[in-house]
A and B are shown apart, each in its own frame.
Chain A
Amino acid sequence: MNRFFPWGFLSVTALVFLAIFVAYPILGVLFRSFIGENGAFSLDGFETFLTRGKYLEALMNTVILGLIVTLTCTILGVFLAFVVARYDIPFANIVLLLPLSVLIIPELISAQSWVMVFGNNGLITNLFKALGLPFPRFYGWFGLIYVMTLTYYVHVFLAALAALRGFDHSLEEAGQSLGTAPFTTYFRVVFPTILPAVLASGLIVFTLVIGNFAISIALAQRVPLLSVMTYRSFISELGGNPTMQSTLATVSILLVSGVLFLQKRYLSKRNYQMVAGRSTPRIKLRGWKALLISGGAGLIIVLSLMPALVVLMGSFTVSRGPVMYWGQFTLEHYVRIWDFNLAVIGNSLKFASLATGLGVCFATLVSYLLVKKRSVFSPVLDYLLLLPLTISGTVLGIALAQGFNSGPIVLSGGLLMVLAMMVRRLPFGVRNASSNLHNISNSIEEASVSLGVPPVRTFFNVVLPLMAPGIAAAAILTWVTTVAELSASVVIYQAGQETLPIQIFRLISSDLMARASAFGVINMFIILVPVFFGIKVMKVRLFSS
Chain B
Amino acid sequence: MAELILQDIRKSYGDTEVLKGVSRRIADGTFFTLLGPSGCGKTTLLRIIAGFVSPTQGTVHFGRDDITRVLPHERGVGMVFQDYALFPDKNVFDNVAYGLRARKLSSKEIQRKVPEYLEKVGLGGLESRLPAEMSGGQRQRVALARALVIEPRVLLMDEPLSNLDASLRVQMRDVIRSLQLETRTTTIFVTHDQEEALAMSDEIAVMKNGCIDQCGAPADVYRNPKTAYVSRFVGSANLIEAEFLEHGLDGVDRYRVQDTLVAGRTMEVAANGRYLMIARPENIKIRRKDSDPVGGELEGRIASFQFQGYRTSFHVVLKSGEDLHVETVGEAETSALGRGDNVIVSIGEKCLFVPEASA
Query: Are A462 and B73 in contact, CB atoms less than 8 angstroms apart?
Result: no
Q: Type the 1/0 row for B79-119, where 1 means its CB is closer than 8 Å to any CB of A.
A: 10111011111000000001100110000000000000000
Q: Of B81, B82, B89, B102, which contacts A451 at CB under 8 A?
A: B102
Query: Are B73 and A452 in contact, CB atoms less than 8 angstroms apart?
Result: yes
Q: Type the 1/0 row for B187-225, where 1 means its CB is closer than 8 Å to any CB of A.
A: 000000000000000000000000000000000000000
Q: Does A37 contact B (CB under 8 A)?
A: no
Q: Of B71, B79, B85, which contacts A454 at CB under 8 A?
A: B71
Q: Type the 1/0 row for A6-37, where 1 means its CB is closer than 8 Å to any CB of B.
A: 00000000000000000000000000000000
Q: Of B69, B72, B85, B102, which contacts A444 at CB under 8 A?
A: B85
Q: Kindly state the separation between the CA atoms of A1 and B99 in the bound complex, as whole angstroms.
A: 22
Q: Does B77 contact A (CB under 8 A)?
A: yes
Q: Of B83, B102, B150, which contacts A441 at CB under 8 A?
A: B83
Query: Are B85 and A447 in contact, CB atoms less than 8 angstroms apart?
Result: yes
For window 129-150 of B, CB contacts with A under 8 Å fall at 143, 146-147, 150
**Chain A min CB distance to B146 (Å):** 7
Q: Kindly state the separation between the CA atoms of A447 and B149 in the bound complex, as whole angstroms.
A: 13
Query: Are A452 and B76 in contact, CB atoms less than 8 angstroms apart?
Result: yes
Query: Are A3 and B79 in contact, CB atoms less than 8 angstroms apart?
Result: no
For window 435-462 of A, CB contacts with B under 8 Å fall at 441, 443-444, 446-455, 458, 462
Q: Type the 1/0 row for A529-540, where 1 means its CB is closer than 8 Å to any CB of B.
A: 000000000000
Q: Which residues from B are CB-within-8-Å of A512?
A: none
Query: Are A452 and B85 in contact, CB atoms less than 8 angstroms apart?
Result: no
Q: Kindly state the separation between the CA atoms of A540 and B187 in the bound complex, as whole angstroms.
A: 44
Q: Does A465 contact B (CB under 8 A)?
A: yes
Q: Contacts A450-B77, A451-B146, A453-B102 hold; do A1 and B52 have CB atoms under 8 A apart?
A: no
Query: Are B54 and A3 in contact, CB atoms less than 8 angstroms apart?
Result: yes
Query: Are A449 and B72 in contact, CB atoms less than 8 angstroms apart?
Result: yes
Query: Are A450 and B72 in contact, CB atoms less than 8 angstroms apart?
Result: yes
Q: Does B264 contact A (CB under 8 A)?
A: no
Q: Type the 1/0 row for A196-235, where 1 means its CB is closer than 8 Å to any CB of B.
A: 0000000000000000000000000000000000000000
Q: Give the top 3 A-B pairs by smallest Cβ distance, nearest first.
A: A451-B99, A443-B85, A452-B102
Q: Of A441, A453, A466, which contacts B73 at CB under 8 A?
A: A453
Q: Contacts A450-B77, A451-B98 hold; do A444 and B146 have CB atoms under 8 A apart?
A: no
Q: Does B41 contact A (CB under 8 A)?
A: no
Q: Which residue of B lies closest to A442 (CB)?
A: B85
Q: Of A3, A446, A455, A462, which contacts B87 at CB under 8 A?
A: A462
**Chain A min CB distance to B79 (Å):** 4
**Chain A min CB distance to B87 (Å):** 6
Number of B interface residues, CB 8 Å?
31
Query: Are B52 and A446 in contact, CB atoms less than 8 angstroms apart?
Result: yes
Q: Type the 1/0 row for A105-149, where 1 means its CB is closer than 8 Å to any CB of B.
A: 000000000000000000000000000000000000000000000
> Can you name 16 extra interface pairs (CB under 8 A) apart from A441-B83, A451-B99, A452-B74?
A1-B69, A1-B70, A1-B71, A447-B79, A450-B72, A450-B73, A450-B77, A450-B79, A451-B146, A452-B102, A452-B103, A452-B150, A453-B98, A453-B102, A458-B73, A465-B89
Q: Kindly state the separation between the CA atoms of A466 and B147 in the bound complex, as whole angstroms.
A: 21
Q: Kindly state the separation between the CA atoms of A448 and B89 in the bound complex, as whole angstroms.
A: 13
Q: Which residues from A are CB-within-8-Å of B98?
A: 448, 451, 453
Q: Which residues from B are CB-within-8-Å of A447?
A: 79, 81, 85-87, 143, 146
Q: Kindly state the separation between the CA atoms of A455 and B98 in the bound complex, as whole angstroms.
A: 14
Q: Does B78 contact A (CB under 8 A)?
A: yes
Query: Are B69 and A454 in contact, CB atoms less than 8 angstroms apart?
Result: no
Q: Which residues from A are CB-within-8-Å of B147?
A: 450-451
Q: Does B318 contact A (CB under 8 A)?
A: no
Q: Contacts A3-B54, A454-B73 hold; do A448 and B87 have CB atoms under 8 A apart?
A: yes
Q: Does B50 contact A (CB under 8 A)?
A: yes
Q: Type the 1/0 row for B227-260, where 1 means its CB is closer than 8 Å to any CB of A.
A: 0000000000000000000000000000000000
Q: Which residues from B are CB-within-8-Å of A454?
A: 71, 73
Query: Are B71 and A450 in contact, CB atoms less than 8 angstroms apart?
Result: no
Q: Of A1, A444, A466, which contacts B54 at CB under 8 A?
A: A1
**Chain B min CB distance to A468 (Å):** 9
**Chain B min CB distance to A217 (Å):** 47
Q: Kindly state the separation between the CA atoms of A153 and B319 in the bound complex, as whole angstroms.
A: 79
**Chain B min CB distance to A1 (Å):** 5
Q: Contacts A451-B99, A451-B146 hold; do A446 and B73 have CB atoms under 8 A apart?
A: no
Q: Which residues from B are CB-within-8-Å of A452?
A: 73-74, 76, 99, 102-103, 150
